[in-house]
Structure 1
Amino acid sequence: MLEAKYQDFYDQIIHKIPKEKIFTDKLHTLAYGTDASFYRLIPKIVIKTDNAKEVQDIIELSNSMNLSITFRAGGTSLSGQAISDSILIITSRNFSNFKIASDVSYISLEPALTGAQVNGLLARYSKKIGPDPASINAAMIGGIAANNASGMCCGISQNSYKTLKSMKLIFSDGTKLDTSCEKSKDSFRKTHGEFLKNLKSFSDDTKANEELRAKIERKYKIKNTCGYSLNSLIDFDDEFEILEHLIIGSEGTLAFIEEITYYTVEDLKDKASTLIYFKDIKEACSAVTKLKLAKEAKTINVEAVELMDRAGLASIENDPAMPVFIKDFDEKVTALLIETRAISDEQLDIQTAQIEELLSEFSVVRDIYFTKNVAEYTLYWKIRKGLFPAVGAVRETGTTVIIEDVAYPIECLAEATLELQELFKKHNYSEALIFGHALEGNFHFVFTQDFSDPKEVKRYDDFMNDVVHSVAVKYQGSLKAEHGTGRNMAAFIEVEWGYDAYMMMKKIKNLFDPKGLLNPGVIINDDAQAHLKNLKTLPATNEIVDKCIECGFCEPTCPSNELSLTPRQRIVVNREISRLESIGEHKEAKEYKDLYQYDGIETCATCSLCSSACPVKIDTGNLTKHLRAEQISDTSKSIANFVANNFSATLKGVRIGLHSANFIHKVLGTPSMETVTKTFRDLSRNTLPKWSITMPKATSININFEQKVSNKKVVYFPSCITRSMGLNDASQEEKQLFDVTVELLQKAGYQILFPQNLPNLCCGMPFSSKGFNDAAHTKSAQLEDALLHVSEFGEYPILCDTSPCTKKMLESFSHKLNIYEPIEFALEFLTKELEFTAIEEPITIHTTCSSRKMGLEDKFNSLAKLCSTNVIIPADVKCCGFAGDRGFNFPELNKSALRYLKEQTSGAKMAFSTSKTCEIGLSDESGLDYNSIFYLVNKVTKSKNL
């Protein structure tokens, strides 16, 4: 039950915002209320907002009722600034409109676009936004601006503060302001004249205070996100310039960012990177200082310098992609990852030579080697960006991982860093490591912490107080360089800034938010113990996911991220269930389990794309499969085993069902069929599968056809889907996939071999995805044995026409066989035998989850471009959400996952993929007829031997 004041709020807000976007139950408030920090508050109410009008309505109502609110975007923030025990407003992924200037000099963005999405929009113009945090793939624009997040390359010259053009804001009383619009500013002057007058006086007073002004100038020569952006008070004279720049880094405590317009920056394509290994951290820091001074003197061009100490290198040295020699380094070796960019390849060579010359005086343990190879330097940066979560993966289960974020004046970098290492030793944080943006004097240090033990909390407090004194007092650095103040450093702002500056920050907060309702406790917090309260624990739940530190990197790839839960949120809930069970609270744990069934288990696509985005490869899809297996009754297992042992009969049943549906469709017609089936589905409470025009008709195959004997042989395993599901009624194609594949292989001169007992063969995926592991193993073993024999134990390549089945075979088989799905087979074999003539008609392709996880995304793009001169690839479509047969029973998952598909494939005439079930859902949501890429390959090729 909600408290009376929150119930009153709820009863009123449901008349303005759809009820399904408002959450008060324990599962969603816990799951949606979690961010990447080591703090936890559980909100009373969570509201997902799609637009600024909804946010304005919430702000106005909460203001009138004196209820506090907190804004949250991607939830990748690390300092506790995006959590609430009151009302949490989440910008849904639909809050993502944008507009690019005609000359691409600026881009206007709503808050829910991720940084990676924005850079994707600008890439064709060789532009990007300035901020480049390591979390850019998951962090949303609203959070990037609200935290003044910077990152690897932007330093202090291209962060949000420096590249801001204008903003649209909503204030604590609901007033809106567009700083790019004179009419809006005139209106604001009339209603908020006193506000602007006070803001101007703050600026005048600060400029007149020579000591404070000098301190601000000095502190913003390095990265600093601790407290409010006081530099705005001395950098600008115009009240609106001051206002909008104060919003940068204000962490939702001053106003809501409805839209931000950034000046774009050049994205130079010629790049080179190197990993240089120095004898120790002092030598590496000395090299950084020299690089920084040379860059400031404009004698070299260096884009980024990232430091990784020996402990950091140790955390990733077992990655198969890393050089093996790292394991042999002694305990002091420290690496610098350096990148330089240029306007041409020739200029790039000059720049790399200059850097090598400048660093020649330093002691390195390996020769300096710059690479221009995109795959190599992309790997370097991927590993660097994944260092923080990677450390979390090797922590002791039950502990949390903490990342701190400091900056030092560059001239004292080596000395200060050595002192920091001494503090690790003093407080016995032996596992701590240092990495970060060394060129800006900005280091992150990471250590593991147990917050369940009061003695450990005391140790943490003692350590942090020593760090604060060292960084902020002794070296006059920043306690938060780019992660934001949050709850983590709110208690120490006065220590860093002094009394006058802190009082000015309080005045700013009071001016913008006189009732103190916007994100209370963040930035301004007089509780000296604030950093020790509401600490989050990470209890063990399942070894599949126990390494997770809840960073949220997985969330953009998840097909259910707007429908139900994300991988991170599923893990959060499972941890809470395990915690409750461990203390005997089984009734409450059962309540969570009941709530979790739909959001956590039924609407998980188990596509495992989360593992591809996770720095430590956590596969929450496997957790879901594990939980499904636990729920299976003995009766269900027996049925599954019966189906597996009578598989050909099962496929006959599928064909009969499809024949029946097709017959009824012909009798009723499409509109009536849709109405009738929807009615029955509604009456069954969605237990009956959804029917649509894209539902395939039944088909069967005939492997007894005439072939020419050839020394080129291929084993063709048509999937069970291909053997039972054919074209749909809306398709313009005439031939079934099996027939097209055979025609294509014969055109290429292949003699086709089929495994024995084909009607009974299956890769096992339909069983494993539902948790029927025994049945899945049985079918997989049968198929492996059949393919071993027909391929002469791997002498001939094996083609499967469906990517998910191919991946399942590669994962399950114990013998190494040469198994291919359509993309790789076409590129490796058919391009040698067939002549491709690209068509001009625009096409679109969908890379399935399985293909992505097999590393085939770029290869699919290449194959498509061999076939068409106009290939459309939707930027925001990953997993289709159909998930085998789940799209029939939970079509809302498919619909949510493909919500951008129709818009982003506009103009395409033909559409292709490599999985029939995916193609059903894709066709349904796009209005296009998706078919196997083999249809197009067959259409555009002829034999080279003719």
Structure 2
Amino acid sequence: MNRTQLNDVAKLPKEYHDFWMQVSHVIPQSRMFCDPLYTLAYGIDASFYRLIPKVVLKANTTEEIKEILEASQKFKVPVTFRTAGTSLSGQAVTDGVLVVLKGGWRGYRISNNGEKIALEPGIIGAEANRYLKPFARKIGPDPASIDSAMIGGMAANNSSGMCCGTADNSYQTVEEMKIIFGDGTVLDTGDKTSCDDFIKTHSAWVREIEKIQDEIHDDPQLTEMIHHKYKIKNTTGYSLNAFVDYTDPIEIIKHLMIGSEGTLGFIAEITYRTVIEHPHKASALIFYPDMEQACLAVQRLDRNSVSAAELMDRISLKTMEDKPGMPEYLKTLSPTVTALLVEVRAADPELLDQATTRVAALLEGIPTVLPLKFTAIKAEYENLWNIRKGIFPAVGAIRPLGTGVIIEDVAFPRENLAEAAIALRNILDKYDYKDAIIYGHALDGNLHFVFTQDFGQPEDLPRYEGLMRDVGELVVQRYGGSLKAEHGTGRNMAPFVELEWGNKAYLMMKRLKNAFDPKNLINPGVILNDNPHVYLENLKNMPQAHAIIDTCTNCGFCEAICTSKNLTLTPRQRIVIQREIAELRRSGKEPERLERLVQDFKYAGNQTCAVDGLCATTCPLSINTGDFVKVLRSQEITPKGYWVAKKLARHMAGVTGVMQWGLGAVNSAHHLLGTEKMKALTEGTRRMSGNRLPLWNPWMPSRGKVSSTIIQAEPRTDRKAESDSLLKVVYFPSCISRSMGPAKDDRDQRPQSEAVLSILAKAGYEVIMPPRMEGLCCGMPWSSKGFFEIADQKSAELEKVLYEASEQGKYPVLCDTSPCLYRMKSVMNSLNLYDPVEFIHDFLLERLEIHKIPETVAIHVTCSSVKMNLTGKFRAVAEACAEHVVLPEDVHCCGFSGDRGFTFPELNRSALASLKPSLPSECHSGYSNSRTCEIGLSLHSGISYQSIVYLVDRCSKSIVGI
């Protein structure tokens, strides 16, 4: 530890200091945090509560978890576990020790031909389904957050979703489980020896479980209440249904862990029985005159007739009216209209037709606003589901700045759904939440209601308190429903558990918690809490920081795709820190803490952000945190820095010339000294410079150049002479490809431009090279560093030259580097611009004779290509050229980010940590469409990555006579 870290540890309360010192023997310092920046960054989750942990640990192994729990018991320090932090009810926040599992716990095993899958808690739900896809299976739980939520949280909260209902949730589909309890004991429920040993060593626990079970069985009224409550969705309190569904204590413990929210122990692995993923689907969006008619329709449906039935009130539909791709008729609906979105699934088209006909017959006689119509066209039914999926994010986007979005989650018996939904709307109106929306999984009687609240205004708290009091009375006392259907109890509903379950059942839950965790140190205050006002305390404020990020709701959906997620901060965490900095600056409070956050953010938030913008592709609100970081960089520019940048921009030809000379010299040294000596020399030099000098690596490119000879298009026959005369393209080699040639061990040693010109000639294209090319640049290097004005000047200069070269936009323009092309497309409106992948796919493949090579090749779709929706075309081009194509699904942005791969190589290393293990041993070459990305990909895969144009050129020749 450095001096600053030692000071942070020294400031911890004694029990936390002693805890830290003990666990530091098994957890590396790089995964331990007690500083202001990281504790705040990790402290915030998707809920509307704010508690800042004193210590944050990233634990990756069973041994580390056991050590953490042992130290927790020894020093009486509370511990909370968290996976993705997408939970909404305050069950994963703490002011004690936060143990983060994200980034580790990635193991899985598939057995019984996909009928079972064992998963560690750090795997994202959608990833599990991807592993099961070849078997036409999936896991049962299907929460809306499945693309971000992780298995540990999904099991611990008994998450369900739109289709799984109460039949396929974690409780119903859990097969086995590995659990680490607070005393360090590991129980493997699938191992008889482990179970027998546990029963012997924990006989007191077992006796208490058996005693509670006997008391429930001896109370018919309580037993009946338990049966009733779990006919609908219910995650309020502990899973008391385990006591009536099972007699074996191990089975009871296993099922008690589901929905326990990390308060009874740690789920180290869960084995699910999987469910069938039917390949054929059809959906219908049905509009009813009012809520009552929609709910009557729901009562005619069940899981045998439809897989999902989603209710949406008129206000929720209104939030989606102006979204791209939404049907125009949404704007014409009357104020009382309520929609029902239903889906049916089947094994083949014939069975699907039968299913849709059956549903139409079941709903016949209930008046609709528009005719009922099913669609089995993928694009059409996905657009219908985009309406449903976009509702919650849409509220976040249109909410008043500074307010938070609260989503509550209740369930009613289906026979009471209509009157209960109307009563719920009346309560919302009573407390002036008139813009609140109501929607949900109607097939399960599960309704969500969403509203905005400014917790920075204390006078609003009584309004929220009154709302929750009346909702509790409505759900529990009037209709015998669930106060938490699928989002978990958390802190949000902990004070109301006794209201829902009654005193006897509540005391049983307290005895259960005491048996498993007698010192109340495992996620205390969650599910059970004696503080009646805990749901009104530690509420999260949402201060404004910048227009780009102010709409963020902290959902965390951006984190899975983030380049720096396992190195420093994620987009959500960057926003959390910047909001805190903005608030501290406004208030003038805690100046020392403010200064520390500003200083620490420079590396963690700014320098290690790849600014690739992929976070916007998974953010429900399309927030591009990379663009915000560019703004921060622009604010740090000094007059001298601006002068230097402008000077370089004006002398671009000289800059590229110096780069070419330097790379040539370094490449010569590499050949002369050899890799090992070169590596030792450059690493030592970099250390001596305080890491100011870029880091050399063995895949550093040689001197780049542009082919001076235009390859003539091959002669064509008269059959297409007229069309061939129009086959012209302007080719602009980017400054990167002009400067950087192949690396020493690259497979193809030709300049990239030579390969481009070769395939264009084979396809019969006449190539136009822009004049004064050596001084041209798209502006991206300046934009990424915050020199926006200079970047726009370079872009405008390039656009003018390309416009003239293309005869005022008559001919297409091809740029050979994807990130540069993306920049050009975003600022140039007068040109038809193409990336190599798109141009090859759309124009060249049909004009080339392709001979597939009998090889396995890897491809990497750059972040700019992803944003241009080129993934499918990239795969198609590669598959046209090679028999086997590998696209590692867990690799997103490579993190090279222009020059970051040289200046902050740890970002590239972290981003590509899973690349090499993802490639089969028979894969010896890779292809992409960005020269700098290819350097990092080669370095961390051990194989040569080059432009896709090399592969196409290698596999193609002209078609004779076209």
TM range (shorter): over 0.9
Q: Which amino acid aligns with 1:755?
A: P
What is the aligned partner in structure 1 of residue 530 from structure 2?
Answer: 526
Inter-partner Cα distance in structure 1 for 2:925 and 2:367: 59
On the 8 A contact 2:288/2:294 being kept in 1, the answer is yes
What is the aligned partner in structure 1 of residue 897 from structure 2?
Answer: 883
What is the aligned partner in structure 1 of residue 481 from structure 2?
Answer: 477
Shift of 1:190: 2.2
On the 8 A contact 2:710/2:767 being kept in 1, the answer is no
Compare 933-942 and 172-181 and name the one that shifted more: 933-942
Decide which of 678, 684, 699 is 1:679's aligned counterpart: 684
Work out whether 1:414 is the aligned partner of 2:418: yes
What is the aligned partner in structure 2 of residue 303 from structure 1?
Answer: 307
On the 8 A contact 1:487/1:530 being kept in 2, the answer is yes
Q: Which amino acid aligns with 1:241?
A: E
Inter-partner Cα distance in structure 2 for 1:280 and 1:684: 71
Work out whether 1:106 is the aligned partner of 2:106: no
Query: What does 1:775-924 correspond to in 2, within 5 Å?
Result: 775-813=790-828, 815-907=829-921, 908-924=923-939
Inter-partner Cα distance in structure 2 for 1:57 and 1:379: 49
Compare 795-804 and 325-334 and name the one that shifted more: 325-334
* SS of match in other structure, 2:902: helix
Work out whether 1:204 is the aligned partner of 2:191: no
Shift of 1:573: 0.4
Shift of 1:244: 0.6
Inter-partner Cα distance in structure 2 for 1:700 and 1:495: 75
On the 8 A contact 1:135/1:385 being kept in 2, the answer is no
Rate the CA distance shift 1:385–1:786 in 2: closer, same or farther, 3 A: same
Inter-partner Cα distance in structure 2 for 1:653 and 1:175: 63
Deviations 1:208-235 (CA, angstroms, capped at 9, x unpaired) = 2101100000000000000000000000
Shift of 1:370: 2.1
On the 8 A contact 2:43/2:93 being kept in 1, the answer is yes
Deviations 1:819-873 (CA, angstroms, capped at 9, x unpaired) = 1101211111012211223223111111110011111112212222222221112
Inter-partner Cα distance in structure 1 for 2:77 and 2:396: 36
Decide which of 659, 662, 684 is 2:664's aligned counterpart: 659
Deviations 1:280-338 (CA, angstroms, capped at 9, x unpaired) = 2222111111113xx4xx4xx31111122211112121111111221222222222221
Decide which of 566, 570, 573 is 1:569's aligned counterpart: 573
Q: Which amino acid aligns with 2:700?
A: M
Inter-partner Cα distance in structure 1 for 2:866 and 2:711: 36
Q: Which runs of 5+ in 1 are unaligned?
A: none
Work out whether 1:763 is the aligned partner of 2:763: no
What is the aligned partner in structure 1 of residue 8 from structure 2?
Answer: none
* SS of match in other structure, 1:690: coil
Inter-partner Cα distance in structure 1 for 2:380 and 2:673: 58
Deviations 1:603-625 (CA, angstroms, capped at 9, x unpaired) = 00001111000111011001100
Shift of 1:704: 4.3
Shift of 1:163: 0.3
Shift of 1:703: 4.0
What is the aligned partner in structure 1 of residue 142 from structure 2?
Answer: 132
Inter-partner Cα distance in structure 1 for 2:271 and 2:338: 39
On the 8 A contact 1:389/1:551 being kept in 2, the answer is no
Work out whether 1:57 is the aligned partner of 2:62: no
Compare 256-265 and 709-718 and name the one that shifted more: 709-718
Inter-partner Cα distance in structure 2 for 1:904 and 1:382: 32
Decide which of 688, 691, 694 is 2:696's aligned counterpart: 691
Work out whether 1:18 is the aligned partner of 2:28: yes
On the 8 A contact 1:161/1:248 being kept in 2, the answer is yes
Shift of 1:356: 2.2
Inter-partner Cα distance in structure 2 for 1:371 and 1:889: 52
Q: Which amino acid aligns with 2:931?
A: K
On the 8 A contact 2:858/2:927 being kept in 1, the answer is yes
Compare 445-454 and 242-251 and name the one that shifted more: 445-454
Rate the CA distance shift 1:335–1:793 in 2: closer, same or farther, 3 A: farther
On the 8 A contact 1:847/1:860 being kept in 2, the answer is yes
What is the aligned partner in structure 2 of residue 497 from structure 1?
Answer: 501
Q: Which amino acid aligns with 2:784?
A: S
Decide which of 212, 225, 231 is 1:221's aligned counterpart: 231
Inter-partner Cα distance in structure 1 for 2:795 and 2:289: 51
Work out whether 1:252 is the aligned partner of 2:292: no
Work out whether 1:940 is the aligned partner of 2:944: no
On the 8 A contact 1:644/1:778 being kept in 2, the answer is no
On the 8 A contact 2:613/2:624 being kept in 1, the answer is yes
What is the aligned partner in structure 1 of residue 720 from structure 2?
Answer: none
Inter-partner Cα distance in structure 1 for 2:652 and 2:112: 59
Compare 10-19 and 592-601 and name the one that shifted more: 10-19
On the 8 A contact 2:711/2:758 being kept in 1, the answer is no
* SS of match in other structure, 1:169: strand
Work out whether 1:634 is the aligned partner of 2:639: yes
Query: What does 1:171-320 correspond to in 2, within 5 Å?
Result: 171-292=181-302, 295=303, 298=304, 301-320=305-324
Compare 267-276 and 535-544 and name the one that shifted more: 267-276
Kindly, what percent of the aligned residue pairs are identical? Answer: 48
What is the aligned partner in structure 2 of residue 727 from structure 1?
Answer: 742
Inter-partner Cα distance in structure 2 for 1:939 and 1:486: 59
Inter-partner Cα distance in structure 1 for 2:770 and 2:341: 51
Compare 859-868 and 413-422 and name the one that shifted more: 859-868
Q: Which amino acid aligns with 2:441?
A: H
On the 8 A contact 2:706/2:738 being kept in 1, the answer is yes
Decide which of 389, 392, 397 is 1:393's aligned counterpart: 397
Task: Count how many residue pairs are aligned between Structure 1 and Structure 2.
Answer: 939
Inter-partner Cα distance in structure 2 for 1:805 and 1:842: 28
On the 8 A contact 2:176/2:272 being kept in 1, the answer is yes
* SS of match in other structure, 2:552: coil
Q: Which amino acid aligns with 1:620?
A: T
Inter-partner Cα distance in structure 1 for 2:830 and 2:350: 45
On the 8 A contact 2:15/2:76 being kept in 1, the answer is no
The Cα RMSD (Å) is: 1.3
What is the aligned partner in structure 2 of residue 85 from structure 1?
Answer: 95
Shift of 1:944: 2.1
Inter-partner Cα distance in structure 1 for 2:192 and 2:930: 53
Inter-partner Cα distance in structure 1 for 2:232 and 2:693: 61
Shift of 1:383: 4.2
On the 8 A contact 1:227/1:485 being kept in 2, the answer is yes
On the 8 A contact 1:268/1:341 being kept in 2, the answer is yes
On the 8 A contact 2:124/2:147 being kept in 1, the answer is yes
Shift of 1:102: 4.3
Shift of 1:792: 1.7
Compare 729-738 and 35-44 and name the one that shifted more: 729-738
On the 8 A contact 1:226/1:479 being kept in 2, the answer is yes
Rate the CA distance shift 1:794–1:365 in 2: closer, same or farther, 3 A: farther
Q: Which amino acid aligns with 2:546?
A: N
On the 8 A contact 1:435/1:443 being kept in 2, the answer is yes
On the 8 A contact 2:670/2:678 being kept in 1, the answer is yes
TM-score, normalised on structure 1?
Answer: 0.98
Work out whether 1:432 is the aligned partner of 2:436: yes
Shift of 1:754: 1.5
Compare 739-748 and 889-898 and name the one that shifted more: 889-898
* SS of match in other structure, 2:470: helix
On the 8 A contact 1:23/1:47 being kept in 2, the answer is yes
On the 8 A contact 2:113/2:135 being kept in 1, the answer is no
Shift of 1:706: 5.2
On the 8 A contact 1:270/1:342 being kept in 2, the answer is yes
